[in-house]
Amino acid sequence: MRVGMGYDVHKLVEGRDLILGGVKIPHTLGLLGHSDADVLLHAVMDALLGAAALGDIGKHFPDTDPQYKGISSIKLLEHVTKLIEEKGYIVENIDATIIAQKPKMRPYIEEMEKNIAAALHIDVSQVNVKATTEEGLGFTGTEQGISSQAICALTTIYESSVAVADSQAGCEGCAGCRKQS
């Protein structure tokens, strides 16, 4: 098993959409960044890349590259998924926290979890997103920015809890490599 952790932070500004977990959240401010500045997905991607020893999102999606200007972080997460799968890893779980004073995240978390699970080709039960405030303290508490932290566990098909040999459906019943026989 391999474990990775990720962290990201972006400044809140006027004139930008607030997108977290691939969900556009109504708010007077949005996050400033080269892409859509989705701090939640950026933290998740860094956790995954770290666990697989593949560097970080800056290595794969540099903010100096115009092809990533305004890009959806869901698309970037889908690319990270391909990299993880090519290395033979299976995502066991993701646990992430959004740190923001406002807006309240609870109404959007279920959709965020679904978006992350779909991009990673895993079940939504393997993704947990939560949110907290900093009680008015620090840059997130004073609404200058939003940050996120994530941790993940990766395994390989050989160490996974997936029952391949016992599956009556054969390889098609395996959630591991996702290849069809």
The pLDDT tens digits of the residues spanning 38-97 come to 999 999 999 999 999 999 999 999 999 999 998 999 999 999 999 999 999 999 999 999
CATH number for the domain harbouring residue 44: 3.30.1330.50
Specify if 98 maps to a domain. yes
Is 42 annotated in a binding site? The answer is yes
Tokens of 6: 């990720």
* Residues 134, 147 contacting (CB under 8 angstroms): no
State the burial class of residue 104 (Cβ atoms within 10 Å of its Cβ: 0-12, 13-18, 19+): exposed
Q: For residue 35, say whether it is annotated as part of any ligand binding site.
A: yes
**Confidence label for 6 from pLDDT (cuts 50, 70 and 90):** very high
- Quick one: pLDDT at residue 167? 46
Residue 168 per-residue DSSP state: T
Q: Rounded to an integer, what is the distance from CA 95 to the centroid of its chain?
A: 9
Tell me, yes or no, whether 131 lies in a domain. Answer: yes
User: From CA 54, how far away is CA 155, in angstroms rounded?
Assistant: 15
Would you say residue 15 lies in a domain?
A: yes
Say if 43 falls within a structural domain.
yes
- Determine, yes or no, domain membership for 166: no
Q: Does 141 fall in a domain?
A: yes
Q: Which amino acid is at 87?
A: K
Q: Is 132 annotated as a binding residue?
A: yes
pLDDT band at residue 178 using 50, 70 and 90 as cut-offs: low
DSSP labels, 104-147: --GGGHHHHHHHHHHHHTS-GGGEEEEEE--TT-HHHHTTSEEE
Say whether 127 counts as a known binding-site residue: no
Q: Is 159 known to sit in a ligand binding site?
A: no
pLDDT digits (tens, 9 = 90+) for 161-171: 554 444 455 55
28 assigned ligand-binding residue:
no
Specify if 172 maps to a domain: no
Q: Is 167 annotated as a binding residue?
A: no
Question: To the nearest 10°, the Cα dihedral for 52, 53, 54, 55?
Answer: 130
Structural domain that includes position 81:
2-157
Residue 61 marked in a binding site: yes
Q: Looking at the domain assignment, is residue 181 inside a domain? A: no
Q: Is 58 annotated as a binding residue?
A: yes
The answer on whether 10 is annotated among ligand-binding residues is yes
Count how many domains the chain has.
1
